[in-house]
A and B are shown apart, each in its own frame.
Chain A
Amino acid sequence: MADTHVVDAEHAHSPHLRHHFDDMHQQFDSDTFGMWVFLLTEIMFFGGMFGAYTVYRSMYPEAFAATSNFMNPAFGAANTAVLIVSSLTMALAVRASHLGQQKLLQWMLVFTMIFGLAFLVIKGFEYHEHWVDMKVPLFPGHWSWTGPEAPPQFAHEAQILFCFYFFMTGFHALHMLVGLGIMTTLLVMARKGTFTPAYYAPVEVSGLYWHFVDIVWIFLFPLLYLIGHTKKLI
Chain B
Amino acid sequence: MSTVLQDPQTTETPNYLNAEYGWKSWLFTTDHKRIAVLYLISISVMFALGGVFAGLIRMELLTPQGDLVNSDTYNKIFTMHGVVMIFFFLIPSIPATFGNFLVPMMIGAKDLAFPRINLLSWYIYILGALFALAAIVLGGVDTGWTFYTPFSTTYSNTFVITAAVGVFISGFSSILTGLNFIVTVHKMRAPGMTWGRLPLFVWANYATALIQVLGTPVVAITLALVGLERAFHIGIFDPAIGGDPILFQHMFWFYSHPAVYIMILPGMGVISELVTCFSRKGIFGYSFIAGSSLGIAIIGFLVWGHHMFVTGMSMYAGLYFSLLTMLVAVPSAIKVFNWTATMFRGSISYETPMLYAFGFIGLFTIGGLTGLFLGTLGVDVHVTDTYFVVAHFHYVMVGGMVVAYMGALHFWWPKITGRMYPEGWGKFSALLVFVGFNVTFFPQFILGYLGQPRRYHAYAPEFQVLNVMSTAGASILGVAFLIPLIYLLWSLRYGKPAGNNPWGAKGLEWTTQSPPTTFNFDVTPVVTEEAYAYAKHEETHVG
Q: Nearest Cβ in chain A — how far from B538, in angstroms?
A: 35
Pair A52/B179 contact, Cβ less than 8 Å = no
Residues of B within 8 A of A56 (CB): 236, 243-244
Given contacts A26-B187, A138-B234, A167-B225, contact A41 B214 (CB under 8 A): yes
Q: Which residues of B contact A152 (CB under 8 A)?
A: none
Which residues from 193 to 250 on chain B have a C-beta closer than 8 Å to any C-beta of chain A? Answer: 213-218, 220-222, 224-225, 228, 232-236, 238, 240-244, 247
* Contact pick for A48, options B110, B179, B221, CB 8 Å: B221
A156 and B251 form a contact (CB under 8 A): no
| A34 engages B113 (CB within 8 Å) | yes
B135 CB, min distance to chain A CBs, angstroms: 23
- Most interface-central of A46, A51, A52 (chain B CB within 10 A): A52
Given contacts A19-B519, A20-B111, A167-B228, contact A160 B214 (CB under 8 A): no
CB distance from A39 to the nearest CB of B (A): 10
Q: Give per-residue flags for A69-113: 1 if the beta carbon is below 8 A from chain B beta carbons, else 0.
A: 000000000000000000000000000000000000000000000
List the A side residues contacting B109 at CB < 8 Å: 20
Whether, in the assembled complex, B175 has its beta carbon less than 8 Å from a beta carbon of chain A, the answer is yes
Q: Is the CB of A45 within 8 A of B217?
A: yes
Residues of chain A contacted by B179 (CB below 8 angstroms)? 34, 37-38, 41
Residue A221, interface by CB 8 Å:
no
A41 engages B213 (CB within 8 Å): yes
- Among B187, B220, B235, contact of A29 (Cβ-Cβ < 8 Å): B187
Tally chain B residues at the interface, Cβ within 8 Å: 42
Please report whether the interface of chain A is mostly helix, strand, loop or mixed according to DSSP. Answer: helix
Expressed in whole angstroms, the minimum distance between the Cβ of B239 and any Cβ of chain A is: 10
Q: Which residues of A contact B228 (CB under 8 A)?
A: 167
Q: Hey, what's the 0/1 contact readout for B149-189 against A, CB within 8 Å counting as 1?
A: 00000000000000000000000000100011011001110
Residue of A nearest to B225 (CB): A167
Q: Are B183 and A30 in contact (CB under 8 A)?
A: yes
Compute how far the CA of A30 lies from the CA of B180 in the bound complex, rounded to whole angstroms.
10
Task: Decide: B183 and A156 in contact? CB cutoff 8 A.
Answer: no
Q: In the docked arrangement, what's the CA distance between A196 and B469, Å? A: 70
On whether the beta carbons of A30 and B113 are closer than 8 Å, the reply is yes
Q: Using a CB-CB cutoff of 8 Å, which residues 147-196 of chain A contact chain B? A: 156-157, 159-160, 163-164, 167, 171
Min CB distance, B51 to chain A, in Å? 32
B362 contacts the other chain (Cβ, under 8 Å)? no
Once the chains are docked, how many angstroms separate the CA of A167 from the CA of B519? 45
User: A167 with B236: in contact, given A40-B213, A48-B218 (CB under 8 Å)?
Assistant: yes
Which residues of the other chain, A, contact B110 by a CB distance below 8 angstroms?
A: 19-20
Q: How far is the CA of A61 from the CA of B441 in the complex (A)?
A: 49
Assuming the contacts A30-B113, A45-B218, asked whether A37 and B182 have C-beta atoms less than 8 A apart, the reply is yes
| Closest beta carbon of chain B to A138's beta carbon, Å | 4
Identify the closest chain B residue to A29 (Cβ). B187
B495 interface residue, CB < 8 Å from A?
A: no
Measured in the bound complex, the distance between the Cα atoms of B207 and A17 in whole Å is 29
With contacts A20-B519, A41-B214, A44-B214 taken as known, whether A137 is within 8 angstroms of B187 at the C-beta atoms is no
- Cα(A164)–Cα(B115), bound, Å: 37
B146 within 8 A of A: no
B-side contacts of A26, CB under 8 Å: 187-188
Q: Which of B111, B216, B222, B236 lies at the interface centre, i.e. has the most chain A CB atoms within 10 A of its CB?
A: B236
How many angstroms between the C-alpha atoms of A49 and B151 in the bound complex?
A: 21
Cβ–Cβ < 8 Å partners of A19 in chain B = 110-111, 519
| Beta-carbon contact of A156 and B232 below 8 Å | no
A139 CB within 8 Å of chain B: yes
Contact A22 B220, CB 8 Å, known A33-B183, A139-B232: no
Cβ contacts under 8 Å, B112 to chain A: 20
Contact A160 B242 (CB under 8 A): yes
B337 within 8 A of A: no
Residues of A within 8 A of B481 (CB): none
Q: Which residues of B contact A55 (CB under 8 A)?
A: 244, 247
Give the distance in Å from the alpha carbon of A52 to the alpha carbon of B244 in the complex: 10
- In the complex, whether A197 has a CB less than 8 A from a CB of chain B is no
Return the contact of A34 from the options B114, B236, B242 (Cβ within 8 A). Answer: B114
| Residues on the A chain within 8 Å of B251, using CB | 48, 51-52
Instruction: List chain A residues, Cβ under 8 A from B347.
Output: none
Check A30–B247 contact: CB distance below 8 A: no
CA distance in complex: A156, B243 (Å): 9
Check B524 for interface membership: any CB of A closer than 8 A.
yes
Of chain B, the residue at the smallest CB distance from A49 is B221
The 7 closest A-B pairs by CB, nearest first: A45-B217, A48-B221, A20-B110, A20-B111, A44-B217, A156-B241, A138-B232
**Which residues of chain B have a CB within 8 Å of any CB of chain A?**
109-115, 175, 179-180, 182-183, 186-188, 213-218, 220-222, 224-225, 228, 232-236, 238, 240-244, 247, 251, 519, 524
Which residues of A are in contact with B by a Cβ distance under 8 Å? 18-22, 26, 29-30, 33-34, 37-38, 40-42, 44-49, 51-52, 55-56, 59-60, 137-140, 156-157, 159-160, 163-164, 167, 171
Beyond A20-B111, A48-B222, A164-B236, 17 extra complex contacts between A and B, CB < 8 Å: A20-B112, A21-B188, A30-B188, A34-B113, A34-B183, A37-B183, A37-B213, A41-B216, A44-B215, A45-B220, A52-B247, A55-B244, A59-B242, A140-B233, A156-B242, A159-B234, A163-B236
| 6 CB-based A-B contacts, threshold 8 Å | A34-B179, A40-B213, A49-B225, A59-B242, A160-B238, A167-B235
